């Protein structure tokens, strides 16, 4: 075989190792993934042609072995230690004091502070720079040989970079599953009706304990190294921090949050900073580890039992605790969603006392099989709402009744709807329900609905809080005096608002329907309903089957519409609106034939730029009324682009695709033809 092929193979391997290092250790990839894949393929092809050139440390040799029947044991030449814990400042001060006393040092001690990763400990043994084996911690003296699985992790180098490493180097670190990888894995499990992992730690442990490395290879595992074991035939730096930098230089991943600090005060500040950012970190941590930085001082301190005297874990408050469910109540959210909430025996979790926790919805209650009286695990992670995570297995001693959903809203007594295939149950008293009224009124007043100028979200909140309005109909009873008496409301704005309310009294049928805020009835559906039924009363009386006939309306939307108009409270509010002087503009009977004749019937139109007279919404209303479809982006299926001033990329695209471009005047002419 020509020496040049051997050289080429070695060069490709070096390149791949270097780029993996850039990617996994420095988090700074310098070539696109596709280029990496190309180099990898090249190497694969050469190795296939020349199998005798394959070495165990080749980047292609990560998943090669066949499944095991059991893991072998490996005795650690140097034991794998654990850490003592502290939970507060006082105990941390005591830890620091013990060190100062023992070492007879009165100056502040230099520590490294590092996140305590929530995964599992691993020991990697490299000889002459090649990964020989990887073992779990086990009982600290003997662990399991998980080399096959560890080799599948892209971030673990099969060969160390450079040549300055000790002949034998044991590296210790934590294998963990990043949060996003964990969520993806569980999503997949749900889709396949398989059991989900309770947390990233269990998922990481489960993935490493696979007998078939092909399975592990598909799991998103990562590694951060945090110390060394046996070191022979060479030496490392004399501080912990510098050793970690050396490991990094050998191509081993090290967490980039690790810092060198002086004294307890700085440690506490670090603890606070990391706690504050805990939710944003891409991996789970359960505390901070402080280690005396100087190796010489570490050696003088020594060990007690199975933990070093020179290191301590400062743990975060537990995020899961056990409590008991006393009762289940139902809360109505601002959009009508009904949420079951567990009332609990108070429990200290995640740093606060929790006595209420969400049960999310009925599907979750059934899935977790939660009942009143159960002992449950309560979880509060960061700023997230506390939740009932699961029932304590085997804790239910007698049979307990299942939790039942209410049939009517606890706030307004309207019926509760639970549409098939949807997890969330909702109150149907959208216009009337106290819990929902602010949202309902904001929507009612919004630009695409009744378009009431000067009635913004803040003002609606204010009016609702002051108890001045309960339903949208109350808006029309507001007097200038009542409005002007509100904080930050001048007489002039009050007058303007009353005028705006007055001029909103003749809405097109479609706008009025949209303004009612029926679930899932957006502008287009409202327009389709208006065109189909022509009058408000016809829509109110429409039946499920009839609704299914309408363009774009499926069974879920149809059910929402039927449910909405079945609620007497909603009908009352509509009645009040009409008595307040609202005159809904029916769609003219004539329109049907006119629509069919229209140049725009069934055509797809995109609107862009600023039109000279009409707003884009007005133009859209006109087009929809004659049966056009108005969409947001230009494609080959677009029939017309209605372009105004400052039309940008849509115009360019339309011209490229040969779509007919028209201006406002042309549209009006075509509409009137
Ligand atoms: S040092 C000699 N550093 O915590 C010191 N451990 O409770 C040995 N852990 O078994 C451990 N992050 O699995 C150290 N930055 C870190 C760590 C860490 C997580 C785990 C490790 C160890 C356990 C001890």
pLDDT tens figures, 109-126: 999 999 999 999 999 999
Query: For residue 365, what pLDDT band results from cuts at 50, 70 and 90?
Result: very high
CA of 348 to the centre of ligand 1 (A): 26
> And the tokens for 219?
């799991």
User: How would residue 586 be classed by pLDDT, with cut points 50, 70 and 90?
Assistant: confident
CA 175 to ligand 1 centroid distance, Å: 11
Please, what sign has the CA dihedral across residues 260, 263, 269, 270?
positive
Structural domain spans, the chain:
3-53, 85-315, 320-391, 434-579, 589-672
Q: Can you list the positions of beta strands (E) in 333-429?
A: 337-349, 352-358, 375-379, 387-391, 416-417, 425-427
List, in order, residues 6 or more apart from 530 with CB less than 8 Å away.
508, 509, 510, 513, 539, 587
Residues 6+ apart with CB under 8 A from 481: 494
**pLDDT tens, position by position, 503-535:** 999 999 999 999 999 988 998 899 999 989 999
- For ligand 1, the distance from its centroid to the CA atom of residue 83, given in whole angstroms, is 7
Check for a shared fold between 85-315 and 589-672.
Answer: no
Whether the pLDDT of residue 591 is over 60: the answer is no
Average pLDDT over residues 565-589: 90
Query: How do 311-315 and 85-86 pair as beta strands?
Result: parallel
How confident is the model over 625-636, as a mean pLDDT?
86
Residue 594 has a pLDDT of: 61
Catalytic residue (one of 116, 442, 629, 650): 116
**Residue the block writes with tokens 């559906």:** 525
Mutation pick for ligand 1 pocket among 76, 83, 285 (CB with most ligand atoms within 8 Å): 83
- What is the per-residue pLDDT for 540? 94
Choice from 80, 87, 121, 252 to test ligand 1 binding pocket (greatest atom count within 8 A of CB)? 121
Q: pLDDT over 70 for what percent of the chain?
A: 98
pLDDT band of 382, cuts 50, 70, 90: low
Each as own residue / partner, the long-range contacts of residues 540-545 (CB below 8 Å, 24 or more positions apart, any chain) are: 540/565, 540/571, 540/574, 541/565
Residue 453 to residue 494: CA distance in whole angstroms: 11
φ/ψ of residue 405, rounded to 5? -75, 145
- Give the residue among 405, 385, 387, 393 at the shortest CA–CA distance from 369: 393
- Check if 93 has its Cβ closer than 6 Å to any atom of ligand 1: no
Residue identifier of the C-alpha nearest atom 21 of ligand 1: 121
SS3 call for 451:
coil
Alpha-carbon distance of 251 to 177, in angstroms, equals 20
> So what CATH class is 3-53?
mainly alpha
Q: In the predicted model, is pLDDT for residue 149 greater than 60?
A: yes
The position carrying tokens 């949209």 is: 514
Pairing of strands 604-608, 640-643: parallel
Q: Whose CA is nearest to atom 11 of ligand 1?
A: 82
Query: Mean of the per-residue pLDDT values for the chain?
Result: 92
Q: Considering only CA atoms, which of 440, 420, 477, 448 is closest in space to residue 616?
A: 448
Active site residue 218: no
Note the pLDDT tens digit of each residue in 6-22. 999 999 999 999 999 99
Query: What would the pLDDT profile of 308-349 be if each residue is shown by its tens digit?
Result: 999 999 999 888 899 999 999 999 988 899 999 999 999 998
User: Does ligand 1 have an atom closer than 6 angstroms to the CB of 174?
Assistant: yes
Angle at 137 (CA atoms; ends 134, 142), nearest 5 degrees: 90
Ligand 1 binding pocket includes 240 (Cβ within 6 Å): no
Please give the pLDDT value at position 435: 87
**CA 498 to ligand 1 centroid distance, Å:** 67
Residue 82 CA: nearest ligand 1 atom is 24
CA atoms within 13 A on the CB side of 203: 27
Say yes or no: CB of residue 114 within 6 Å of ligand 1. Answer: yes
| Among 366, 363, 358, CA closest to 424 | 363
CATH of domain 320-391: 2.40.50.140
> What's the CATH fold of domain 434-579?
DNA polymerase; domain 1 (1.10.150)
- Mutating to test ligand 1, I would choose from 76, 78, 82, 223 the residue with most ligand atoms within 8 A of its C-beta, which is 82
Q: Is the CB of 464 under 6 A from ligand 1?
A: no
Which atom of ligand 1 lies nearest, measured to the CA of 118? 19
Q: How far is CA 422 from CA 59, 328, 418, 586, in A?
A: 47, 21, 7, 33
**Chain centroid to CA 45: how far?**
40
308 in contact with ligand 1, CB cutoff 6 A: yes
The torsion of the CA quartet 397, 398, 399, 405, rounded to 10 degrees, works out to -70
Q: Which architecture characterizes domain 589-672 according to CATH?
A: 3-Layer(aba) Sandwich (3.40)
* Residue with CA closest to ligand 1 atom 13: 121
- Give which of 429, 577, 589 is closest to 504, Cα–Cα: 577
Distance 603 CA to ligand 1 centre (A): 66
Buried b (16+ CB within 10 A) or exposed e, 522-532: ebbbbbbbbbb
For residue 177, give both structure tokens.
Answer: 């599953």
Nearest to 315 by CA among 95, 140, 101, 80: 95
Evaluate: CB of 258 within 6 angstroms of ligand 1.
no
> What are the two backbone dihedrals, phi and then psi, of residue 484, each rounded to the nearest 5 degrees?
-65, -20
Nearest CA to ligand 1 atom 24: 82
In this prediction, residue 530 carries a pLDDT of 93
Rounded CA separation 221/224 (Å): 11
Confidence (pLDDT) at 318: 82
Give φ, ψ of 660 to 5 degrees: -70, 125
Q: Measured in angstroms, how far is the CA atom of residue 455 from the centroid of ligand 1? A: 58
pLDDT digits (tens, 9 = 90+) for 204-222: 999 999 999 999 999 999 9
274 pocket-lining for ligand 1 (C-beta < 6 Å): no
The first and second tokens of residue 506, run together, are 């003749």
User: Ligand 1 in contact with 122 (CB < 6 A)?
Assistant: no
C-alpha 352/C-alpha 321 separation (Å) is: 11
Q: Give Dmax over CA atoms of the chain in angstroms.
A: 99
Cα 177 to Cα 183: distance, rounded to the nearest angstrom: 10
285 Cβ closer than 6 Å to some ligand 1 atom? no
- Angle at the Cα of 41 from the Cα atoms of 40 and 44, rounded to 5 degrees: 90
Residues forming beta bridges with residue 126, ordered by sequence position: 131, 169
Work out the pLDDT band at 625, boundaries 50, 70, 90. Answer: confident
- C-alpha to C-alpha distance for 622 and 617, rounded to whole angstroms: 9
State how far the Cα of 61 lies from the Cα of 43, in Å rounded to an integer: 11
Alpha helices of 477-567 — where are they, by DSSP H? 480-484, 491-503, 509-515, 523-533, 536-541, 544-549, 555-566
- Ligand 1 centroid distance, CA of 116 (Å): 6
User: According to the model, what pLDDT value does residue 285 have?
Assistant: 95
Q: Give me ligand 1 centre to Cα 211, in Å.
A: 25
Q: Which residues partner with 145 through β-bridges?
A: 135
Pocket of ligand 1 contains residue 133 by CB under 6 Å: no
> What is the per-residue pLDDT across 170-215, written as a single tens digit (0 to 9) for each?
999 999 999 999 999 999 998 998 888 888 999 999 999 999 999 9
Q: Would you state the pLDDT for residue 590?
A: 46
| Ligand 1 atom having least distance to the Cα of 313 | 7
**pLDDT greater than 60 at residue 226:** yes
Tokens for 514, please give them: 């949209």
Nearest to 665 by CA among 646, 647, 642, 648: 642
Indicate if the pLDDT at residue 657 is higher than 70. yes
Closest residue CA from atom 9 of ligand 1: 116
CA distance 71 to 151: 15
How many angstroms is it from 407 CA to the middle of ligand 1? 52
Among 87, 112, 117, the mutation site with the greatest number of ligand 1 atoms within 8 A of its Cβ is: 117
**Is residue 617 predicted with pLDDT exceeding 60?**
yes
* Residue 383: predicted pLDDT: 65
Residue 305 pLDDT:
79
Q: 311: Cβ below 6 Å to ligand 1?
A: yes
Bridge partner list, 123: 135, 172
Average pLDDT over residues 137-149: 94
Classified by CATH at the fold level, domain 85-315 comes out as: D-amino Acid Aminotransferase; Chain A, domain 1 (3.30.470)
Residue ID of nearest Cα to ligand 1 atom 16: 116
pLDDT of residue 673: 66
């Amino acid at each position: 075989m020509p020496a040049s092929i051997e050289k080429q193979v070695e060069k490709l391997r070096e390149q791949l190792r270097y780029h993996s290092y850039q990617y996994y250790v420095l988090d700074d990839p310098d070539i696109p993934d596709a280029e990496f894949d190309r180099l990898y393929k090249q190497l694969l092809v050469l190795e296939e042609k020349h199998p005798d050139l394959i070495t165990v440390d080749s980047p292609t040799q990560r998943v090669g072995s066949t499944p095991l029947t059991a893991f072998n044991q490996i005795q650690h030449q140097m034991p794998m230690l654990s850490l003592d814990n502290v939970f507060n400042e006082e105990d941390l001060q005591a830890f620091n004091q013990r060190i100062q006393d023992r070492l007879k040092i009165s100056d502040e001690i230099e520590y490294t502070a590092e996140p305590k990763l929530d995964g599992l400990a691993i020991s990697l043994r490299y000889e002459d720079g090649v990964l020989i084996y990887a073992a779990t911690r086990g009982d600290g003296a003997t662990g399991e040989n998980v080399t096959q699985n560890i080799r599948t992790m892209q971030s673990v180098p099969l060969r160390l970079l450079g040549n300055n490493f000790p002949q034998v180097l044991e590296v210790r670190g934590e294998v963990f599953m990043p949060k996003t990888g964990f969520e993806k894995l569980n999503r997949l499990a749900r889709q396949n009706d398989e059991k989900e992992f309770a947390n990233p730690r269990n998922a990481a442990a489960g993935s490493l304990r696979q007998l078939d490395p092909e399975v592990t290879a598909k799991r998103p595992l990562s590694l951060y190294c945090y110390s060394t074991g046996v070191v022979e035939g060479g030496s490392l730096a004399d501080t912990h921090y510098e050793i970690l930098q050396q490991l990094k230089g050998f191509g081993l991943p090290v967490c980039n949050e690790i810092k060198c600090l002086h004294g307890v005060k700085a440690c506490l500040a670090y603890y606070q900073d990391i706690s504050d950012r805990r939710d944003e970190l891409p991996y789970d941590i359960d505390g901070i580890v402080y280690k005396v930085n100087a190796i010489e001082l570490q050696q003088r301190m020594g060990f007690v039992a199975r933990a070093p005297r020179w290191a301590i874990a400062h743990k975060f408050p537990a995020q899961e605790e056990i409590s008991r469910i006393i009762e289940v109540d139902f809360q109505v959210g601002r959009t009508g969603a009904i949420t079951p909430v567990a009332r609990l025996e108070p429990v200290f979790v995640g740093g606060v006392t929790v006595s209420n926790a969400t049960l999310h919805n009925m599907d979750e209650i059934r899935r977790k099989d939660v009942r009143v009286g159960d002992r449950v695990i309560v979880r509060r992670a960061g700023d997230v709402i506390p939740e009932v995570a699961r029932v304590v297995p085997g804790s239910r001693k007698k049979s307990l009744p299942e939790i039942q959903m209410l049939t009517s809203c606890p706030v307004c007594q309207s019926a509760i709807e639970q549409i098939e295939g949807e997890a969330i149950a909702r109150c149907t008293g959208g216009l009337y329900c106290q819990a929902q009224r602010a949202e309902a009124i904001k929507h009612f007043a919004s630009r695409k609905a009744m378009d009431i100028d000067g009635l913004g979200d803040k003002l609606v909140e204010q009016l609702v809080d002051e108890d001045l309005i309960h339903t949208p109909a109350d808006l029309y009873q507001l007097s200038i005096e009542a409005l002007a008496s509100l904080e930050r409301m001048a007489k002039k704005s009050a007058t303007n608002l009353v005028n705006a309310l007055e001029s909103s009294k003749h809405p097109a049928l479609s706008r009025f329907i949209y303004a009612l805020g029926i679930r899932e009835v957006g502008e287009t559906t409202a327009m389709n309903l208006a065109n189909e039924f022509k009058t408000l009363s016809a829509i109110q009386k429409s039946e499920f089957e009839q609704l299914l006939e309408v363009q774009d309306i499926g069974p879920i939307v149809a059910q929402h519409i039927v449910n909405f108009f079945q609620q007497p409270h909603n009908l009352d509010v509509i009645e009040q609106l009409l008595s307040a002087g609202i005159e809904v503009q029916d769609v003219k009977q004539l329109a049907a034939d006119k629509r069919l004749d229209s140049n725009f019937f069934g055509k797809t139109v995109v609107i862009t730029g600023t039109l000279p007279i009409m707003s884009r919404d007005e133009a859209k209303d006109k087009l929809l009324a004659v049966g056009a479809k108005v969409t947001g982006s230009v494609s080959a299926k677009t029939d017309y682009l209605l372009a105004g001033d400052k039309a940008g990329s849509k115009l360019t695209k339309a011209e490229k695709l040969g779509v007919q471009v028209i201006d406002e005047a042309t549209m009006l002419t075509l509409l009137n033809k």
